[in-house]
Amino acid sequence: MDLYRQTYIEEARENLEELTQALLELETDPCNNEHVDKAFRALHTIKGSGSMFGFDTIAAFTHTIETVYDLVREGRLSVTPELISHTLAASDVIRDLLQDNAAIPAGKDELELIFRNIAASVQGATTGNDEPPSPQPDDTAPEENDRNDETTYRIVFKPAHDLLLNGTNPLLLLRELQDMGTCTITTVTDNVPEFENLNPEMCYVHWDIILTTLADRNTILDVFIFVEDGSTITVDIVDTVDHDTGEEKTKKIGEILTERGDVSTDDIQEAIGEQKRIGEVLIAAGKTTEQNVNTALAEQQHLQTVQQQKAQEKSASSIRVASPKIDTLVDLVGELVTFQAGLSQFATVRMNPDTFKDEKTDRHALMKRCNELMRIAESAERLTAELRDTTMSIRMIPVGTLFNKFRRVVRDLSRSMGKTIDFIIEGGETELDKTVIEKLSDPLMHIIRNCIDHGIELPDVRTAAGKQANGTVKLSARHSGAYVVITVQDDGAGLNRNRIRQKALEKGIIDENVELDEKAVYDLIFAPGFSTAGEVTDVSGRGVGMDVVRRNIVDNLQGAIDIGSESGRGTTLTLKMPLSLAIIDSLLVKVENNPLILPLGVVEECVELTADDRKRQHGKHMAQIRGHLVPYIALREYLYESDGRPGIEQVVVCNINGNKTGVVVDEVLGKHQAVIKPLGKMYKDIQGVSGASILGDGTVALILDTQQLVHAGEATA
């Protein structure tokens, strides 16, 4: 039954997406019966299947909404913007009810009453046999929510100073907490005295613990039952739900510090006005200590990690695959079985040493067997390539599944800001790896929100500038070789070069005497903490966002991001994403007899580099290539700290964010398809290395992150 319930949850989420798209289309074309039918079918499916699998609260709630849309189908009720807004809010409630928590989403009963009143206004006071079942009271949890759910607690353990004298080891208590679930422990050392005043038998530290667990509060308190005398122990629930929307939220550092009583609300507001990282401002102003901020950061990181894990669990665990792809895969598996049988026969008969007894000097017989072996190797290569491509294609899904989710974002955000925006999607049929699409959601969300907040002007401002009152945000995708190019374009005011440069000077990001071209100025918006917003809003102004967008695109997804703008005409951000994160086309090179891998997407050409071609200018290595100087980083020096260099090296010219940079290697071995393997925890922070791959002979080759490599090389030049 659990399997069927999970299948229902996944299909219900798909139906909610279809419902959302139908509602957004209805808002622009209220008389379109096709969209009405689509919305009704989605509601009907959610209700019917929900009742079948025990999701009674969802079934009852959805039935109320379905009744209203049945009246719309009959022509007895018109579609209005208010009805669309109420239905979108109702879809959010249904989505919340699908999650594993026992709380009824905020606003559910109010929405149910609104839809009942709408139906009653058309049907009359008496609805007869069609009257939907009465809503369940808030204190009754629906069956689908009768599951144990994890809770996050903030625990402060301040032991008595003489705890150690009693022979108690507090570390054992902390380990017991760690065994209960996901645990983040921060040691607070503010009260540790100077060395000459320190008594080694006293306990001066205390611990702040964030614990996400299935255990209840009393179980946690039982851990401290033998040390509670003289100790201070607090256990509070960390609320991570936004009660206005019912959604999981990521708490800001200021919220955490205020909840903990470390600072006041006034201190937070004052710090926000500084337009800097709030922790730094509070420390500099003497409002709190660095230790408190570090503890709050640890709590924030813990909550983000837990929420990411929940998000991964919520994401659909299945994927719809077209039948032809499955048929092709089955055919290939059949060919592979036949090939394996032929290979086994060849190995046991044709390559048996006994068959060579009379043919030791028969060169022709040996050549014949070698040719057969080459034929088998070619068949294996063909089958492997086809099997790889077919398997990878199964993971490919249209980007339209992601793009369509942003329609709701644009609608809600433009309304809240008093702007009218047309949202255009092109190339939604372009396919991209499912993993890449999932990781693209947050960066694209932030970019689109920025387009609406910073880019598109208010209607009266646009009209005064000779533009249409309606702004436009265009989201498009297209294939480009082994990449997908995604473009986000708005027709707003464009980026203000002078304002960006001035803000960068104020924040110390650049020096006043530095000359920057147009592209370099625009790239400043990706600097950490950068913001040109005049005030902090719910959407922007805190200087957090575009640096994270670039890091996610470049570091996590091995992609590239570029920005262009024209004053008064708008801004365009272009994302170049690999089709897959599992296998990449690459260039295999060698340095100091060590194989290394460079992503082929950034490689422009490979050129021989002799001693005469090596130059030194402005403290940088430069290569003379067809009369032009190209900066380069020598991997022998950077990775292996080797002074010896062969007489002739190879420089691989890469295009990094539109700039040519060389990577000098000993030898270029050729094109290679690399299966990406993640690095272990000990090596995850190595600059310039993004992963590893195992070669055909079993050798491990590092995959180089060219962008990080070039930046690190410039820093050490």
Task: Give per-residue burial for 634-672: e unless 16+ CB within 10 Å, then b.
Answer: bbbebbeeeeeeeeebbbbbbebbeebbbbbbbebbeeb
Rounded Cα distance, 58 and 93, in Å: 9
Handedness of CA 161, 164, 165, 166 (dihedral sign): positive
DSSP H helices in 552-705: 635-640
Q: What is the pLDDT of residue 169?
A: 87
More confident residue, 172 or 278: 172
3-class secondary structure, 652: strand
Angle at 573 between CA 572 and CA 578, to 5 degrees: 140
Question: With bands split at pLDDT 50, 70 and 90, how would you rate the model's confidence at 148?
Answer: very low
Tell me the pLDDT tens digit for each residue of 505-533.
887 788 887 778 888 888 888 887 676 65
Strands 700-704 and 594-599: parallel
Strands 483-490 and 560-566: unpaired
Element (H, E) at 615: strand 614-617
Tell me the pLDDT tens digit for each residue of 246-284.
445 556 666 777 776 777 777 766 665 555 566 777 777
Mean per-residue pLDDT for 18-31? 89
More confident residue, 408 or 348: 408
Rounded Cα distance, 82 and 294, in Å: 45
Mean per-residue pLDDT for 28-50? 88
Q: Quick one: what percent of the chain has pLDDT higher than 70?
A: 80
Compute CA 490 distance to the chain's CA centroid, rounded to the nearest angstrom: 23
Contact status, residue 43 vs residue 79, Cβ threshold 8 Å: no
| Residue 3: Cβ-neighbour burial (10 angstroms; 0-12, 13-18, 19+) | exposed
Q: Which two tokens stand for residue 477?
A: 């995708």
CA distances from 590 to 354, 650, 652, 668, 700 (A): 41, 10, 12, 6, 12
Least confident of 111-125, 289-303, 532-546, 702-716: 532-546
Residue owning tokens 């998000």: 311
R_g over Cα of the chain:
31
Rounded Cα distance, 513 and 328, in Å: 62
DSSP H helices in 359-433: 363-394, 400-403, 405-416
Residue owning tokens 């986000």: 488
DSSP 126: -
Handedness of CA 357, 362, 367, 369 (dihedral sign): negative
Element (H, E) at 49: helix 33-52
Contact status, residue 216 vs residue 169, Cβ threshold 8 Å: no
More confident residue, 222 or 134: 222
Contact status, residue 399 vs residue 431, Cβ threshold 8 Å: yes
Handedness of CA 485, 490, 493, 499 (dihedral sign): negative
Tell me the pLDDT tens digit for each residue of 628-685.
888 888 888 888 877 777 778 899 998 876 678 899 999 999 888 787 877 776 776 6
Strands 232-237 and 151-158: antiparallel
Q: Which two tokens stand for residue 361?
A: 């000097």
Tell me the pLDDT tens digit for each residue of 534-568.
554 555 543 446 888 887 887 778 788 889 898 88
Rounded Cα distance, 524 and 510, in Å: 9
Half-sphere exposure of residue 319: CA atoms within 13 angstroms, side-chain side: 18
Contact status, residue 314 vs residue 289, Cβ threshold 8 Å: no
Residue 708 reports pLDDT greater than 80: no
Contacts of 415 (CB under 8 A, 6+ apart): none
Contacts of 614 (CB under 8 A, 6+ apart): 621, 622, 623, 624
Task: Tell me the pLDDT of the chain averaged across its residues.
Answer: 79
In terms of Cα–Cα distance, which of 436, 456, 356, 350 is closest to 396?
436
Residue 317 reports pLDDT greater than 60: no
E strand intervals along 275-342: none
**Residue-by-residue DSSP string for 262-289:** SS-HHHHHHHHTTTS-HHHHHHHTTSS-
Q: Which two tokens stand for residue 606?
A: 């490979």
Rounded Cα distance, 522 and 516, in Å: 10
Rounded Cα distance, 587 and 701, in Å: 11
In terms of Cα–Cα distance, which of 408, 615, 604, 572 is closest to 485?
572
Q: Which two tokens stand for residue 552?
A: 């996610």
Tell me the pLDDT tens digit for each residue of 213-257.
888 888 898 888 888 888 899 998 886 554 444 445 556 666 777
3-class secondary structure, 252: coil
Rounded Cα distance, 690 and 194, in Å: 43
Amino acid at 59: A
More confident residue, 473 or 146: 473
CA distances from 78 to 40, 63, 535 (A): 14, 19, 41
Phi, psi of 468 (to 5 degrees): -70, 150
Mean per-residue pLDDT for 576-585? 78
Q: Which two tokens stand for residue 703?
A: 């995959």
Tell me the pLDDT tens digit for each residue of 584-611.
778 999 998 899 999 887 888 999 888 7
Handedness of CA 462, 464, 467, 469 (dihedral sign): positive
pTM of the complete model: 0.58
Residue 132 reports pLDDT greater than 50: no
Strands 181-188 and 206-213: antiparallel
Handedness of CA 140, 142, 147, 149 (dihedral sign): negative
- The torsion defined by the Cα of 607, 609, 613 and 618, in degrees rounded to 10, comes to 90
Contact status, residue 500 vs residue 532, Cβ threshold 8 Å: yes
